[in-house]
Amino acid sequence: MDEADVDDAVADSHSFAASEQQGFRHATLNPLFTPQPDPASRSKRISPADLITLKNRFPHLEDFTDDFLMDRTTDELLRIESTSLKIRDAERSRDVEDRLHANKSALGTKLTIIPEGQDNRWTILHRARFLGGAACSAQVLWSTARAVNGINGHPPLSNYDLTAVGLGGFITAKGWLELGNPASTKISLKLFNINNCSARASSSRASSSSGEMADVSDLGEFKLALRALRTAAQFVCPWNMSYLALEGFLIQTEYCAAELAGDSRPAATLTQFVDFILQTNADRWRDSLGFLSTGELAAYWSSFHGARPKHKAAAAPKALFKPPVAKKAEKRPRFPFVDVCHNWNAGRCNKAAGTCLTSRGTALRHVCDWRDPANPATVCGQNHTRLQNH
């Protein structure tokens, strides 16, 4: 209710009270007026039909029981309504943090009485479905749901209105079946991949086993399947925050981009991790343990990714071996013959001087055979070897 509605309601309240008081005053001034019995002596001052009309006109009266209201006069009811409006108008002027703190403090004393009724999850919905969201911790909500619903939860359905949120036809029949059972360890992200909802994938054989379904191929497809899983879970089990915790971890880490920088198939790796977490939470539900929070998922990811085999980047292909091209042998320059022993200069001749002969019987001298490139016709001729002095 906005400020204009508050002012209108207060004005109506004062108008009704003034009219009633004015009428009573005129009646007492009339000499023919006969006093009536005190209204307080009556057990019920307002009829049930009138009370319904007043409640429809002044919604704040809904805070009181029918027995209390039916024992009040019309003037009292209108004053109650007027006072309630003033109090709530004063609350709106308070600081936001103070209002929130006051509302939290009042939770322990404000109990909502839920009347008995019928609910079939479809055409008849009990008013308890529309209470305010639970303000306790997510783990307490999970544990309470485990105690109330048991291991297998409620019978699974598939007629939830996901079309209203733009995800109609994204979930397989097998996905609805496994999502309805919090203890199911057969749940997989592939069951929420739109590519598995085609005519071929929706056959009876594909619907009976997730192993027959197509894998999540790229990161965009993975994000869409994860969104479909989280949204469907909000319809099936709104008390289950484990899917929000999983999505929150992946968003905070930018879908583990740092660790998967060198991964050629990041979507497949993330799908395996999501399936692992879904099955782990199902086991924890069976054991009456809390679900894995966003903080705990960081440690699980480190363990999961650290245990995976690392594939090194493929090395560049080696160039094909090509045999070296044979170079033409360079012709050595031919020097004029000199009677010098070349083996002695190389340290390979053990003959005594004067006994060293060529094959034709020419005597060879044991002197240095080094040649000057500018004058190759002559040798050094000194009494030393070329290797030692040149």
- The full set of domain ranges for the chain reads 3-108, 138-307, 335-390
pLDDT at 20: 47
| pLDDT confidence band for 312 (50 / 70 / 90) | low
Cα torsion 232, 237, 238, 239: sign: negative
- The Cα-based distances of 341 to 278, 357, 375 in angstroms read 93, 9, 19
| pLDDT confidence band for 330 (50 / 70 / 90) | low
- The Cα-based distances of 344 to 57, 375, 376 in angstroms read 133, 22, 19
- The Cα-based distances of 237 to 136, 154, 168 in angstroms read 16, 10, 18
Burial class (CB in 10 A: 0-12, 13-18, 19+), 40: exposed
Residue 203: helix, strand or coil by DSSP? coil
Q: Are 362 and 340 in contact (CB under 8 A)?
A: no
pLDDT at 31: 44
pLDDT at 65: 83
Q: What are phi and psi of 117, to 5 degrees?
A: -175, -175
Calpha distance 57→220 (Å, rounded): 52
| pLDDT confidence band for 205 (50 / 70 / 90) | very low
The beta-carbon contacts of 246-255 under 8 Å, at least 24 apart in sequence, are 246/274, 246/277, 246/278, 246/292, 246/294, 246/297, 248/294, 249/294, 249/297, 249/298, 249/301, 250/226, 252/294, 253/298, 253/301, 255/219, 255/222, 255/223
Calpha distance 95→36 (Å, rounded): 50
Calpha distance 344→386 (Å, rounded): 9
Mean pLDDT is highest, among 86-95, 197-206, 269-278, 338-347, for: 269-278
pLDDT at 86: 79
**pLDDT, tens digit, for every residue of 50-60?**
888 888 888 77
Q: What's the mean per-residue pLDDT of the chain?
A: 81
Calpha distance 103→290 (Å, rounded): 28
pLDDT at 200: 47
Q: Decide if pLDDT at 75 tops 70.
A: yes
Q: Are 115 and 209 in contact (CB under 8 A)?
A: no
Residue 136: helix, strand or coil by DSSP? coil
Average pLDDT, stretch 236-254? Answer: 97
| pLDDT confidence band for 210 (50 / 70 / 90) | low
Q: Name the amino acid, one letter, at 33.
A: F
Residue 245: helix, strand or coil by DSSP? helix
| pLDDT confidence band for 29 (50 / 70 / 90) | very low
Closest by alpha carbon to 64, among 50, 49, 47, 81? 81
Closest by alpha carbon to 139, among 273, 279, 245? 245
Task: Please tell me the total number of residues recorded for the chain in this structure.
Answer: 390
**pLDDT, tens digit, for every residue of 350-381?**
888 778 888 777 888 888 888 877 777 788 87
- The Cα-based distances of 246 to 167, 279, 298, 316 in angstroms read 19, 12, 10, 39
Lowest mean pLDDT among 23-32, 123-132, 184-193, 291-300: 23-32
Model pTM above 0.85: no
Q: Decide if pLDDT at 293 tops 70.
A: yes
Q: How far is CA 20 from the centre of its chain?
A: 62
pLDDT at 344: 81
Q: Decide if pLDDT at 268 tops 90.
A: yes
